[in-house]
Amino acid sequence: MDLLHGKLYWPATLPAPPSYPVLEEDISCDVLIIGGGSSGAQCAFELAQTGLDIVVLEKDLIGSGSTSANTALLQYLGDKMLFELVNSFGEEKAILHTKLCEKAIDKIEEVSKILPIDPDFKRRDSLYFASGGFGSNKLLHENFYLKKHGFKSELWSEENIIQHYPFRKQSALYLYDDGEINPFKYTHGLLQYAKKYGVRIYENTPVNGRKRDTDEITFFTENHHSIRAKYTIFAAGYEGLEWKKEKNSVLSSTYAVVTTPVEDLSDWYKRTLIWETARPYIYMRTTPDNRIIIGGLDEKTNNAEKRDAKLIHKKEKLITEFNLLFPITQVKPDYYLSAFYGGTHDGFPVIGQYPEFPNCYFLFAYGDNGLVYSGIMAEILRDVITSGSSTMLSLYQQRK
Ligand SMILES: Cc1cc2nc3c(=O)[nH]c(=O)nc-3n(C[C@H](O)[C@H](O)[C@H](O)COP(=O)(O)OP(=O)(O)OC[C@H]3O[C@@H](n4cnc5c(N)ncnc54)[C@H](O)[C@@H]3O)c2cc1C
């Protein structure tokens, strides 16, 4: 799958990342993780200290998939608004999921402190503004559930907004304690940590075949080596769909720009993460070296050529949209990309288990909070593999 195209910012922040060998022998292990992006790395981290024998196989270089495109806003609210999740799943499940997202951000913060590569985690509040009158209504609904369940949020009026930002919007939710991170450094940091505990990691090692015996699958690499594993986690990102089409998933295209460093960010209140109620939305954040990341303008296409043909236009449009909010901040694009982006129809990520893949778990951490979702799911899979169950598994198991 042609996951992305453009000039990437995150790999440039870690110019000499750790490297790993190609798998050159037949092996067996307790858990095989297919995919060395942030999801695979989170699974490796969670499993590293269980005493199990863990292997990670990455077909290209570690972190070179969607992880390199990820704009890495860490938020507890997602693509589908909380009140929409309540409509689809009921209040109990929707709230449980949102609380798990909150906890997952706490965990990412804790883990970031102990990694051998600092992933630049920072707590950030979010401003979620109403894109129009209809958006204001949605935020009212959203705030009802947030308040009822004790999430740290405030509904801001137009007055509040113009006191803090150089733009005017009818209303906004101000959400406390979200976060931001460097996903490329995070992935490398997690894997370096896991390696210390004996996790075996291989790059440039595509898995391209499988053979099923009754309740066991042997996987094969492109260079004809076999891997026998008791359990397999497919953490192959959007390319997991090439192994198993999950009906709940939906693939679209998205765009992002990273500007050159900006001298003065003083009119950006607390460097909040900013996004909006419109779908598709525009969102933005800052970086530790004072750049601005602007993303969004999603398109429904899952055709890479059509996606990439729009990149130059989208790059300019993202800058224009930014300047509608911050008119006096002069920005120049430095890095920019087009990429596939996966979500689910119902707004919950999916852990897939399918009869034709015995003892395999598909981690479809799809959605705008992919990094947060895969944090939750890595813990669930650790528990399922080590103790046979997790009370949270049923929340994310594939829906009919
Ligand atoms: C532009 C953009 C912005 C985003 N913004 C956010 C955001 O703000 N916050 C957020 O939380 N999430 C965001 N996401 C989602 C986030 O990027 C993803 O959830 C996350 O990067 C997925 O990581 P992953 O490890 O699942 O996938 P990937 O990074 O794609 O990793 C999967 C890996 O598996 C490897 N692989 C695939 N097939 C095989 C095989 N057969 N054999 C061996 N290896 C294989 C691939 O090479 C790849 O490296 C964004 C996504 C995009 C595209």
User: What is the count of structural domains for the chain?
Assistant: 2
Confirm or reject: Cβ of 64 under 6 Å from ligand 1: yes
In this structure, the residue with its CA closest to atom 41 of ligand 1 is 207
What is the per-residue pLDDT for 214? 78
Q: Give a yes or no: residue 168 inside a domain.
A: yes
Same domain flag for 307 and 317: yes
Q: Is residue 37 predicted with pLDDT exceeding 90?
A: yes
Residues 313 and 376 placed together within one structural domain of the fold? no
74: which 2 tokens?
Answer: 């860490």
Radius of gyration of the chain, Cα coordinates, nearest whole angstrom: 21
Q: Are residues 239 and 258 in the same domain?
A: no
Let me know how long the chain is: 400
- Of the residues 344, 370, 388, the one at which a domain ends: 344
| 93 domain-assigned | no
Tell me which residue has its CA closest to atom 21 in ligand 1: 67
Q: What is the pLDDT of residue 293?
A: 98
Instruction: Let me know if residue 368 belongs to a domain.
Output: yes
Residue 302, domain member (yes or no) = yes
Q: pLDDT digits over 165-193, tens only?
A: 999 999 999 999 999 999 999 999 999 99
Answer positive or negative: Cα dihedral of 163, 164, 170, 171. Answer: negative
Residues 242-289: tens digit of each pLDDT = 999 999 999 999 999 999 999 999 999 999 999 999 988 999 999 999
The atom of ligand 1 lying closest to the CA of 3 is 30
Per residue in 189-235, pLDDT (tens digit) is: 999 999 999 999 999 999 999 999 877 899 999 999 999 999 999 99
Q: Is the peptide bond before 280 cis (omega within 30 degrees of 0)?
A: yes
Q: In whole numbers, what is the pLDDT of the chain averaged over residues?
A: 96
Return the ligand 1 atom nearest residue 256 CA.
1
Q: Decide whether any atom of ligand 1 lies within 6 Å of the 43 Cβ.
A: no
pLDDT of residue 341: 95
pLDDT at 85 (0 to 100): 97
Its domain, for residue 175, covers 123-179+250-344
What CA–CA distance (Å, rounded) separates 306 from 194?
39
Buried-state track 27-38, b at ≥16 Cβ within 10 A, e below 16: bebbbbbbbbbb
Q: Is residue 87 part of a domain?
A: no
For residues 159 and 208, membership in a common domain is answered with: no
* CA–CA gap between residue 58 and residue 246 (Å, rounded): 22
301 with 264, same domain?
Answer: yes
Q: Is the per-residue pLDDT at 311 higher than 80?
A: yes
Q: Are residues 133 and 35 in the same domain?
A: no
Cα of 196 vs centre of ligand 1, distance in Å, is: 24
Q: Could you tell me where the beta strands, DSSP code E, fall in 105-248?
A: 122-129, 153-157, 171-180, 200-202, 207-213, 216-221, 226-234
Residue nearest to atom 4 of ligand 1 (CA): 70
Mean pLDDT calculated for residue range 331-352:
96
Residue percentage of the chain with pLDDT more than 90:
96
**Looking at the domain assignment, is residue 142 inside a domain?**
yes
Domain of residue 323, CATH code: 3.30.9.10
271 and 215 in one domain?
Answer: no
CA atoms within a 13 Å half-sphere pointing along the CA-CB vector of 175: 24
What does the pLDDT read at residue 199? 98
Is residue 400's pLDDT more than 80?
no
Q: Give the 3-state secondary structure percentages of the chain, helix then strand then coil, rounded to 5.
A: 35, 30, 35
In this structure, the answer to whether residues 259 and 172 fall within a common structural domain is yes
Residue 52 sits in a domain whose CATH number is 3.50.50.60
